[in-house]
Structures are given as C-alpha cells and as structure tokens.
Structure 1
C-alpha cells in the first residue's frame, strides 16, 4: 500500500529520486519510500536535502511519510535535523474485508449514501474543516479530482442527518494488490459515540469485499484505533508524517 495511486488526478504527477517516490502537484508535496530507503549517512542527508530544495523552488511544503519499521533507523533523526516537523503518529491496522463486511446500522434520523457530485464532496470538506478547526477546502478539490480521474478506485460515503453532513469516509482500492484502504472517518462532535463510524467501516468493507479485496488497511488516530481493534483489526506498525515548510510559507 506504499507509493501512490496508479492514476493521479489531473495536474498531479510522479517522479523518482532513487528509491524515493515524489508526488507533485497536490496542495503540498508528498514523498514515500520502500521499507529501506536504500541510502545511509551523508547520501541520505543529500536525498532529504534534494526534496527540500525541490519543493522550496515550488514554494510548497512537503510531507515525508515514514513507518515505524523503516530503515535506516536514524531516518527520523535526519529528517528532524533537516527541519522536518513530525505530525501525530498513527497506528497502521489491517483487517479481513469479508469478516468486517456488514449492512450498516445507523442511529435514527441518519442516512448513508455514496456520493460523486462536486457539491457533495465540497460539503464533506466543509464538515472536515469544522471537525479539525482549519480550512480543509483543498480536501474537497482533491476528492473531486480523484473521483473524476479514477471513479473505480475511490468510493466516497456520507452520513447525513437531514441536510447536514455529520460524518464521511472513503474507500480507496489499489489495483494489483489484495488491499483496499479506509480513509476519512471524521464525525461532528455531537454525533460521535452513536455507531456512525462503525457503520462507515461496515459499508466500505462490504464494497471492498464485493470488489475482490481480501484485506483492509487503515492509518488510525488514537481515537479510531481502539474502535477498529474491537471490530477485528490488528495493529502491524505505526506511521508518522514529517512536514517540511519553506521559509515564509
């Protein structure tokens, strides 16, 4: 599940720097590597510096996504020394799609539907902005681009109470693997603890199983990980994004 989707949205492209994959054209840059970066010491420092220089020239921040078992072991220290700042560590969990697939159970007054319309995807971004207390309008544009480019690779679900979006999540299929990824899963505070998150897991697992995926993968926050473990997911490693921002941006 490393790397990037095989069909990037319009305006996004991929570049290689040795074993490193660089994603260019999103709201910020993104880099990821195999479990072993492939270089050590000064060569690793130079690889990190090249990414900073590349995105500095574009005036963009960049995220370097690490996993807890990545090598060399001093990669996080070298990222810190280069000016990267770690965001919240998440737990990577894996579950069996067929065991998690179920008809969703929702609280009274809440409905669930799959959406593709631009307006609905922007409503999801507005809900996410409220949940996280920051402007996430870029998320709506990202979802719009992904749905337009590869509708068979992403399925977006929204939970609504009347005309209010109260939660949303999406399933990302990865061609050529036995996995599908669960993303999103944010819920407005007044609606938490009512089973909406679990319902979104169930409906996405059911679709993933129908599409032939055997396993589901989630990068889970500390809030979500206990729920997912109770549902039958198993922790396999951690993931931490490291963010570098150019001066003045």
Structure 2
C-alpha cells in the first residue's frame, strides 16, 4: 500500500527547498522572513515558503504586500505558489485581497521511477522519442511550444540552450517526440540534486497529435532516464487533462497546488 503521508512529507522536506536552490542562469533567490523569492527568471518572479508560514493576520498581509511591492518596483509579474495543505489556511484569501489572481489548480502527483520505467515505450507509428541536445533542437521546440500555447515563447530556445547545451550540468534533460522531421511534442526532466526526486515539466503536444500515446511515451522515456541515475521518485504538477493518465500509470496524488499571480497594471 502506498504511504501517501510519507510521500507528502518527502515532497515538503525535499522538493520545496529545491525549488529555490538550483536556479537557471541569471536568477537568484532572496529570503524574506519565512518565504523565498526568486528574481531574474522567466517568465515571472516566484515566491514560495514552507508548509506553515508561521505568520498570520496583519503580519501575513505585510509579508504578502512586500513581495508584491518588490516586483512592482521592477515592473514584473510574480507567482506565489501555494499548496492545498499549506497554513495558514486563509493565505489564498489574503493573496486575493492583495491583488493576486488564482490560476489553474493542479494536482501534485508522485510516482516511483522504477515502476514507471517498466511500462512499454510505445509511441505511435512514425513517431520517435529522443533527447534534445543541440541549440537547433531548442529552437524547434520553442516554435512548437509557441504554437501549442498560442503565444510567443521564443525566449524558451535561449533558456533551454543555456541550461542544456552551453552550461549543461546534467540537471535538465529535454526530450522530444518527432514525426516526419517535425517536433510534435516536448517535455523536460529536472533532476533535483540532494533529493530523491526528479520533476516532469513543460509537456507540450500539438493538438493534432494528442490522444495517441505520445504523452505516456515521454513519461516512460524520462522515467528510464531517472532510473539510470538512481532517482527514486518522479513528481508532476498535473492538470486535470493529464492527471487521469498519470494516475493510471501509477502516480499518486499527495496535495494540490495553485499559483496566485500578481501582474503590474498597464
């Protein structure tokens, strides 16, 4: 039987700290009381904290306002990442009162890498799965991601090239699914040094290629890479579209996560 409480405890003690410990080039972490804010990363600033912030009432309001005002002075948006089991329980309400807006709630899933790696790697006919290793790969990925999300994400090419090609330390692995020479799907595997975890991030598949097993193939491929590096768990912040697929593959829900975003007025 899966010990969900133990998985959540491991997530809280290991991954939450890792979120602000291993940052992309140009980003830095700053401590402000119980929270840590990340400055200088795309596409917006980031704030996170422990499961219990240890402050409430007016002190919590002041803490929230400081983060908002810090990024306002920079003219930048900021995301405050909350989890469903966080304390104090009224943190979301106070974030909204300070001008933050809730984005889509996702489910935090954790799975055992060895079990996930045992699934057959079976992309649809004509589709190949491989690691992306060159700057040209990253440019093609950014083009596909921009099409998937109907917005300009060309900046992603430079960021992935920095993290994988120029300054690659092995922490970030990018995988692609290709058909007839075109990138039809891509995703990342982020190893978290000093933890039992690696994260699955950035899954983007062209609409015409969804529902054909590519997503599952990319998960299995990344699970095998994780096992090769002796990683015990994989973690995903899953949308409602991907959650059922991942749970059928063996992932377990441990909590939820909701980003609250403040955006500078135009």
TM-score by length of 1: 0.95
* Structure 1 residue matching 2:144: 3-state secondary structure: helix
Residues 68-217 of structure 1 aligned to structure 2 (within 5 Å) = 68-102=84-118, 104-147=121-164, 148-217=166-235
What's the C-alpha RMSD, in Å, of the aligned pairs? 1.3
Change (3 A) 1:72 1:5: closer
1:6 aligned partner:
21
Aligned equivalents of 2:20, 2:82: Cα separation in 1: 17
* Residues 111-163 of structure 1 deviation map (CA, whole Å, 9 limit, x = unaligned): 11101222211221221111111122233333223224343111100101022
Segments of 4+ in structure 1 off by > 6 A? Answer: none
Structure 2 unmatched runs, 5+? 1-14
User: What do residues 173-227 of structure 1 show as CA deviations (whole Å, max 9, x unaligned)?
Assistant: 1111111111122211111111111110001001111111111100001110010
Residue 46 (structure 1) aligned with residue 62 (structure 2): yes
Cα–Cα, structure 1 residues 44 and 93, in superposed 2: closer, same or farther, change >3 Å?
A: same
Q: Distance in 1 between matches of 2:134 and 2:261?
A: 31
Mapped partners of 1:80, 1:149: distance in 2: 38
What is the SS of the residue equivalent to 1:177?
A: coil
How many residues align structurally? 248
Deviation at 1:246, TM superposition (A): 1.3
Unaligned runs of 5+ residues in structure 1 are none
- Residue 9 of structure 1 and its aligned partner are, at CA, apart by 2.4
